[in-house]
Structure 1
Amino acid sequence: MKKGTTFALRSFIQLFSFNARKLSSSSITDTTRPFPDYSPKKPSVRDTELVHQIANAIKLRRAEPLRRSLKPYECKFKTDHLIWVLMKIRSDYNLVLDFFEWARSRRDSTLEALCIVTHLAVASKDLNVAYSLVSSFWERPKLSVNDSFVQFFDLLVYTYKDWGSDPNVFDVFFRVLVEFGMLREARKVFEKMLSYGLVLSVDSCNLYLSKEKTGTAVIVFKEFPEVGVCWNVASYNIVIHCVCQLGRVSEAHHLLVLMELKGYIPDVVSYSTVINGYCRFGELEKVWKLIEVMREKGLKPNSYTYGSVILLLCRSCKLAEAEEAFREMIGDGIVPDNVVYTTLIDGFCKGGNIKAASKFFYEMLSLDIAPDIVTYTAIISGFCRVGDMVEAGKLFHEMICRGLEPDSVTFTEVINGYCKAGEIKEAFSVHNRMIQAGCSPNVVTYTALIDGLCKEGDLDSANDLLHEMWKIGLQPNLFTYNSIVNGLCKSGNIEEAIKLVGEFEAAGINPDAVTYTTLMDAYCKSGEMSKAQEVLKEMLGRGLEPTVVTFNVLMNGFCLNGMLEDGEKLLNWMLAKGIAPNATTYNSLVKLYCVRGDVKAAAAVYKDMCAREVGPDGKTYENLIRGHCKARNMKEAWFLYRGMVEKGFRVSAGTYSDLIKGFFKRKKFVEAREVFEQMKREGIAADKEIFDFFSDTKLKGRRKTDTVVDPVDDIIEREYVESRHCKEAVGDDVLLRELS
């Protein structure tokens, strides 16, 4: 062990074992209190005779139900008789239970009688019945908690010496108090038992430790050994968990080392708890080291360990490593549960890989692991993110058919998905269904609908919905207002948007980076770059930190308005200030270079972004392919197309068209046809201009020879004929417009 580590551990041991708060003076005494003698009320002669008759009837007619054998005595039986009869039959435990239940069914038993039967149950090692008896007292209407607790405990002590003398009865009593959340009373029992020379079992103390507040549990862990409690591995695991909950994972790790130094052997729970703590704080390197130590000690990670690691990897967007850990988990013979699968599904959905998420979802179903509402919400949300509302709607319906009721989160995800896809009618249909299901829409739900309406340009309906929110008592938040600001900007009402910003600011809601970025975007698209830069200055003046999106908006504005030098300066400034540009930042420059026909400069930008480990996205490839196709650099365009496909990016109809046109211009008809065939396999419809390219090629082939060289597929022929019929049906001027 390294010197620094040893010093840190020593300091921790001192911290953990010094200056602990002492137990109250009543709990640590020099002399042990004796349990009192039991002296019940004496029966009268008449009562003695009745008790004798009842006891004989119970013993001699035990084969009969008590309700029949004791029928003659019911009218004379009183509460006082219960204890006297119990004294007669105490040696027969089963008879005691039957008689006690008979008595309780006819009139309330005394607390003293309940304590007596509890003692007898514990003495007979029937701890479950003892637990049930004590619990029954706290489940019924009673006096104040403190008064009833004192009465019960005092009577339990009073009856102890004569009716059981088994200290486990106090363990049962203590456990019931803890389970019912009466921790203060449980602590008093612990301290009172010390005065009688008894220490509660470590299992009972562990239960108390696990239920206490995290900070208090740590204090209790320090205190109890001073009065005789010998903690075990489970105890250490509980307090390690508490320390992790307090966010002090390093201390929890030191405690793991300390327990081993004290002779306790940490188990898989000990290690997994600390690993989970490090996972919560994203300490992946420490996680791997601890797993390695764990394996060296012959301990295999369990499902909890793997679940924690997989969750961290998914949150860190290390999805390939998450899947690798998942497969390793299966290789270790651990069957993944619903939680692990849901974590992976959610992680891959948020990472944009809906295909992988679907694979895990259907793998889960094939293993008969039932998805719950969280699982369905995750996969539905994933399809909503990529705009596949057909599949999202299908899964939403499937979830309901399985008897799973959508909650507000699920409904809102579906509504938001439809809104983003521009399917406002469907969004409101789900909204109505949400209300009919008794699930109240929240601010997020309304914001999604308002955002959808604003994007459709229906600002009046968005405003009506805003008033509806106020009417039902929901306060619009910044996201709601930002949606309306965005809608106003898109409709060209920038001044109205600025006015709205002033209004919600006056109401105490301060604009954020999104608000200012939206206004900047509007000015950029309207060509007012100076005003966009003024908005940026105001934003900075308010102490708001611009995001990469803010700079992307400015970059897009420069490039849209042909201000290439300003765009280049902005990129260099971002790099100099340590602001990491993303693919969108570079895409604006690539697009402008390609529009200007400078594909060499566009390629240089592409190389620079790759060198800086900024992964190109689909738009990067589309822009470069279009630029190279226009410059007739088909070799480079084809290379980029192959890279785009290999990386899993969806190729758009426009990109396919650019490639086909480029190959035709270079008279590479075989390559053009190959691209066209791939386009058809992807289910992407070609426009009329592409069909014309192929038809013109066919006609030229027919003029040269009597046979058709490389005829087009039947589907192409049919669509080509249909396109010709369409052309004949419209005027020449319309046809020219379509072709252009």
Structure 2
Amino acid sequence: MKRRTTSIIFSNLHRRFHQFPLTTAANFSTTPRPFPDHSPRNPSVTDTDLIRHVTTTIKRRRLEPLRRVLKPYESRFKPSHLIWVLINIKNDYKLVLNFFNWAKSRSEEEQQLHPTLESLCIVVHIAVASNDVETAKRLVFEFWAKPRLDVLKSFELFTERLVYTYKDWGSHPLVFDVYFQVLVETGFVLEAEKLFHKLLGYGVVVSVDSCNLFLCKLSRNFEGIKVAVKVFEEFPELGVCWNTVSYNIVLHCLCRLGKVKEAHNLLVQMEHRGDFPDVVSYGVVVSGYCRNGELDKVLKLVGELKRKGLKPNEYIYNNIIVLLCESGEVVEAERVLREMRKCGVFPDNVVYTTLISGFCKSGDFKATCKLFDEMKHKKIVPDFVMYTSVIHGICKSGKMVEARELFSEMCMKGLEPDEVTYTALIDGYCKVGEMKGAFAVHNQMVQKGLIPNVVTYTALVDGLCKNGEIDVANELLDEMSRKGLQPNVCMYNTIVNGLCKIGNIAQAVKIMEEMDLAGFYPNTITYTTLIDAYCKMGEMAKAHELLRIMLDKGLQPTIVTFNVLMNGFCMSGMLEEGERLIKWMFENSIMPNATTFNSLMKQYCIRNNMRATTEIYKVMHARGVMPDSNTYNILIKGHCKARNMKEAWFLHKQMVEKGFNVTTTTYNALIRGFYKRKKFVEARKLFEEMRTHGLVAEKDIYDIFIDVNYEEGNWEITLELCDEAIEKCLVNET
């Protein structure tokens, strides 16, 4: 039989639920139709005699194999005899089952005795009435698992026989649940829906568990999800009392449809309807909000869950950790991990992989290794994905010795690295300028039978370009082309960037022209790279022209593009043009960031124009642009140079309170400024703070405090500072 496709089934069912009104509860509950009496035709005298002998024989010799016991009667036994014998033995369930299995085996072996559909339904009823639901379900499943030319006719026949035999052979409504569930599980959802409505006429409503199975089956397909929501809304009118499991299924459906707000509203309604949401209910809605990136709503929902005495499960915690990592909030994600453990929910490999990948992306090598070691300590075995993520993170930090050690550990554990792992190592070596190591890994990769991809070649070309080895990079491009790999925009941008870094702008422009001819059109990154090169060479007119071409081609500049231009203006002493650029950005609804303002403020500080610097800082604040650590360092050094120590001290305190790191040069500027103004207490405090943070002061700063401590008679500290100055200043200089 050629089965209907799932999409056709669900679309038909969806159409049915929208076109025809459903039967109301009143129609089936007040005047239910009675089940018919089972009235098989009476046997003839000859048949009666045979049936009596068969019945007597199987009862008397029940411990013997029926195949042997019924051998004398096989040739005369007909399918119609089966029901009459069942009437005589229906109270002996074990004998009923053995006798029916004998009839089935004869049918399969000799194709002589086919149990009728009516007898099958009778045995199903007896099995349910005998609390053997598993056998009943198996029998119904065997019938519906066979290919059928006419599904509708088979459904009508089976349903009619099951209803016809119900009253006299079991009268247990669970039999209809069994039939309904089999229809759903075998994919006959249209027939299951028809059965549901047919049973309403007899005053029978299938159980909520069966209806939940129906919802689950529907929800596996996008069209079916819509039907599932419709069923959920309309079935209560027909007598179905949904439970928490039902709500959870529909909450999941709504979230998959992108209707997270509706799912949240349904979660709130659950309690009003008498069904209390469980941790799964909350988890489904939390997952929906996480997919939408709505962190505030997620945290609010988790808080509500806890107030109701429920504990977030691993699924909820994992979703929150994923969302925080995607938002760059890896430190907060780690805090959630700690909370997770305190609540007795133990993170698995997936949770650790998510968090470690987050720290890798943020470049926090220390946190990455700490979590990786913690994971192994807790006997959670890292898999291939975990090792690759950590290796990639360590390579980004430039710790190639550690990355290589971890790579070896991975191989020793029987985990085979793939192209991604090898490429991460190659990229790491290229980033630190160790091209020999990069090519050694590349050769090892090829020997293993792995084929380098475009990303691998891009890493190698980037490393070569940064080393100024443009000719070798071009040879690598030729090799790549011979292998049938086409360079992409990213690779071209890498070459353009490498050429610009060595000052070969003419060649970079030529490469950009080749990109156009090859169909890999230069993008915003390409133009920004060249604009940056022109700005650094002081050729602002060419930078301007390139920006105009970029805009004419419909490419949108990014904040990086504008920051490159700003830096160019400032380096060329064109500060007024820089200020006009910021004004133009605001007029065109382009928000500058801290870097944009920093370039301008730095140049005004160099010119000792702190009034202009302060004005720019005020504009920055007024426009809602948050200062970064570089902003504070620039301002502090500028005020120190202008001897505005009160303002410098205030900014220093503000900077520390916000968690920004004070640089060595800023500490040096503050200490010199306070010392010159005879503010020795503040100068000494900053010097000690600097040493605590492991920062090395300049030699003249050490000289100041060596002299001060010597004059005060602090011989021990004086000697300590002398040793420190020799070790960190003089030795390092040599």
Query: Does TM, normalized by the shorter one, top 0.5?
Result: yes
Describe the shift of the 1:124–1:546 C-alpha distance in structure 2 as closer, same or farther (beyond 3 A).
farther
Report if aligned partners of 1:57, 1:70 keep a CA contact under 8 Å in 2. Answer: no
> Are residue 568 (structure 1) and residue 574 (structure 2) matched?
no
1:189 to 189, 192, 199: 192
After superposition, the C-alpha distances for 1:691-732 in whole angstroms (9 at most, x for unaligned) are: 9998xx99xx9xxxxx997277779878999899x8xxxxxx
**After the TM superposition, which residues 57-68 of structure 1 pair with which residues of structure 2 at under 5 Å, given as runs?**
59-60=62-63
Q: Distance in 2 between matches of 1:386 and 1:250?
A: 41
Report if aligned partners of 2:636, 2:666 keep a CA contact under 8 Å in 1. Answer: yes
Q: Distance in 1 between matches of 2:612 and 2:180?
A: 78
Describe the shift of the 1:478–1:472 C-alpha distance in structure 2 as closer, same or farther (beyond 3 A).
same
After superposition, the C-alpha distances for 1:403-449 in whole angstroms (9 at most, x for unaligned) are: 55556655555544444333445445555666677776655455444
Describe the shift of the 1:708–1:172 C-alpha distance in structure 2 as closer, same or farther (beyond 3 A).
closer
Describe the shift of the 1:446–1:244 C-alpha distance in structure 2 as closer, same or farther (beyond 3 A).
farther
**After the TM superposition, which residues 448-463 of structure 1 pair with which residues of structure 2 at under 5 Å, given as runs?**
448-460=459-471, 462-463=473-474
2:534 to 523, 526, 529: 523
1:537 to 536, 545, 548: 548
Counterpart of 1:191, as a letter, is K
Report if aligned partners of 1:279, 1:308 keep a CA contact under 8 Å in 2. Answer: yes
Counterpart of 2:20, as a letter, is K
1:710 to 719, 725, 730: 719
The equivalent residue for 1:200 is: 206
Which secondary structure state, in structure 1, belongs to the residue aligned with residue 433 of structure 2? coil
Using the TM superposition, give the Cα deviation of residue 529 of structure 1 relative to its aligned residue in structure 2, in angstroms: 1.2
Describe the shift of the 1:679–1:263 C-alpha distance in structure 2 as closer, same or farther (beyond 3 A).
closer
Report if aligned partners of 1:190, 1:200 keep a CA contact under 8 Å in 2. Answer: no
Q: Distance in 1 between matches of 2:281 and 2:581?
A: 52
**After the TM superposition, which residues 284-299 of structure 1 pair with which residues of structure 2 at under 5 Å, given as runs?**
284-291=295-302, 294=305, 299=310
Describe the shift of the 1:665–1:264 C-alpha distance in structure 2 as closer, same or farther (beyond 3 A).
closer
Deviates more, 1:357-366 or 1:644-653: 644-653
Counterpart of 1:710, as a letter, is L
Identity of aligned residues (%): 49
Q: Distance in 1 between matches of 2:68 and 2:482?
A: 66
**After the TM superposition, which residues 399-478 of structure 1 pair with which residues of structure 2 at under 5 Å, given as runs?**
399-401=410-412, 412-428=423-439, 443-460=454-471, 462-463=473-474, 466=477, 476-478=487-489
Q: Distance in 2 between matches of 1:449 and 1:399?
A: 23
Counterpart of 1:202, as a letter, is V
Report if aligned partners of 2:107, 2:115 keep a CA contact under 8 Å in 1. Answer: no
Using the TM superposition, give the Cα deviation of residue 546 of structure 1 relative to its aligned residue in structure 2, in angstroms: 2.0
Deviates more, 1:665-674 or 1:589-598: 665-674
Describe the shift of the 1:682–1:226 C-alpha distance in structure 2 as closer, same or farther (beyond 3 A).
closer
Counterpart of 1:22, as a letter, is F
Describe the shift of the 1:96–1:351 C-alpha distance in structure 2 as closer, same or farther (beyond 3 A).
same
After superposition, the C-alpha distances for 1:47-91 in whole angstroms (9 at most, x for unaligned) are: 999999996898435xxxx8xx979999x999x999979969984
The equivalent residue for 2:20 is: 22
Counterpart of 2:194, as a letter, is E
Describe the shift of the 1:472–1:200 C-alpha distance in structure 2 as closer, same or farther (beyond 3 A).
farther
Counterpart of 2:719, as a letter, is D
Q: Distance in 1 between matches of 2:110 and 2:342?
A: 59
Using the TM superposition, give the Cα deviation of residue 186 of structure 1 relative to its aligned residue in structure 2, in angstroms: 2.5
Describe the shift of the 1:243–1:591 C-alpha distance in structure 2 as closer, same or farther (beyond 3 A).
same
TM-score of the aligned structures, taking structure 2 as reference length:
0.69
Counterpart of 2:192, as a letter, is V
Q: Distance in 1 between matches of 2:493 and 2:253?
A: 41
Using the TM superposition, give the Cα deviation of residue 549 of structure 1 relative to its aligned residue in structure 2, in angstroms: 0.7
Describe the shift of the 1:531–1:34 C-alpha distance in structure 2 as closer, same or farther (beyond 3 A).
farther
After superposition, the C-alpha distances for 1:258-281 in whole angstroms (9 at most, x for unaligned) are: 444444443443344334333333
Using the TM superposition, give the Cα deviation of residue 577 of structure 1 relative to its aligned residue in structure 2, in angstroms: 4.3
Q: Distance in 2 between matches of 1:433 and 1:605?
A: 55
**After the TM superposition, which residues 636-675 of structure 1 pair with which residues of structure 2 at under 5 Å, given as runs?**
none
Describe the shift of the 1:302–1:121 C-alpha distance in structure 2 as closer, same or farther (beyond 3 A).
same
Using the TM superposition, give the Cα deviation of residue 551 of structure 1 relative to its aligned residue in structure 2, in angstroms: 0.7
Describe the shift of the 1:270–1:363 C-alpha distance in structure 2 as closer, same or farther (beyond 3 A).
same
Describe the shift of the 1:719–1:522 C-alpha distance in structure 2 as closer, same or farther (beyond 3 A).
closer
Deviates more, 1:634-643 or 1:116-125: 634-643
Aligned length: 687
Deviates more, 1:580-589 or 1:663-672: 663-672
Describe the shift of the 1:602–1:721 C-alpha distance in structure 2 as closer, same or farther (beyond 3 A).
closer
**After the TM superposition, which residues 210-249 of structure 1 pair with which residues of structure 2 at under 5 Å, given as runs?**
210-212=216-218, 213=222, 214-225=225-236, 227-249=238-260
Deviates more, 1:425-434 or 1:28-37: 28-37
Describe the shift of the 1:628–1:317 C-alpha distance in structure 2 as closer, same or farther (beyond 3 A).
same
> Are residue 489 (structure 1) and residue 487 (structure 2) matched?
no
Counterpart of 2:526, as a letter, is T
Using the TM superposition, give the Cα deviation of residue 586 of structure 1 relative to its aligned residue in structure 2, in angstroms: 3.4
TM-score of the aligned structures, taking structure 1 as reference length:
0.69
Which secondary structure state, in structure 2, belongs to the residue aligned with residue 247 of structure 1? coil
Describe the shift of the 1:349–1:594 C-alpha distance in structure 2 as closer, same or farther (beyond 3 A).
farther
The equivalent residue for 2:599 is: 588
**After the TM superposition, which residues 65-464 of structure 1 pair with which residues of structure 2 at under 5 Å, given as runs?**
91=92, 93=94, 96=97, 122-128=128-134, 143=147, 158=161, 161=165, 168=174, 171-172=177-178, 174-175=180-181, 178-179=184-185, 182=187, 185-192=188-195, 194-195=197-198, 197=202, 199-212=205-218, 213=222, 214-225=225-236, 227-291=238-302, 294=305, 299=310, 301-318=312-329, 322=333, 329=340, 332-373=343-384, 375-401=386-412, 412-428=423-439, 443-460=454-471, 462-463=473-474
Describe the shift of the 1:634–1:538 C-alpha distance in structure 2 as closer, same or farther (beyond 3 A).
same
Which secondary structure state, in structure 1, belongs to the residue aligned with residue 719 of structure 2? coil
Counterpart of 1:250, as a letter, is K
Report if aligned partners of 1:310, 1:322 keep a CA contact under 8 Å in 2. Answer: yes
Structure 1, unaligned runs of 5 or more: 1-15, 702-706, 727-740
Q: Distance in 2 between matches of 1:483 and 1:107?
A: 71
Counterpart of 1:533, as a letter, is H
Q: Distance in 1 between matches of 2:620 and 2:156?
A: 75
Q: Distance in 2 between matches of 1:41 and 1:491?
A: 105
Report if aligned partners of 2:89, 2:95 keep a CA contact under 8 Å in 1. Answer: no
Using the TM superposition, give the Cα deviation of residue 550 of structure 1 relative to its aligned residue in structure 2, in angstroms: 0.9
Q: Distance in 2 between matches of 1:99 and 1:147?
A: 26
**After the TM superposition, which residues 622-701 of structure 1 pair with which residues of structure 2 at under 5 Å, given as runs?**
none
Q: Distance in 1 between matches of 2:37 and 2:453?
A: 60
Report if aligned partners of 2:155, 2:191 keep a CA contact under 8 Å in 1. Answer: no
Q: Distance in 2 between matches of 1:685 and 1:439?
A: 47
Q: Distance in 2 between matches of 1:431 and 1:508?
A: 29
Which secondary structure state, in structure 2, belongs to the residue aligned with residue 562 of structure 1? coil
Counterpart of 2:209, as a letter, is D
Using the TM superposition, give the Cα deviation of residue 542 of structure 1 relative to its aligned residue in structure 2, in angstroms: 3.5
After superposition, the C-alpha distances for 1:343-390 in whole angstroms (9 at most, x for unaligned) are: 444444444555445554444444445555555555444434443444
Report if aligned partners of 2:61, 2:69 keep a CA contact under 8 Å in 1. Answer: no
Report if aligned partners of 1:660, 1:690 keep a CA contact under 8 Å in 2. Answer: no
Counterpart of 1:215, as a letter, is K
Q: Distance in 2 between matches of 1:722 and 1:126?
A: 88
Report if aligned partners of 1:590, 1:602 keep a CA contact under 8 Å in 2. Answer: yes
The equivalent residue for 1:551 is: 562
RMSD: 6.2
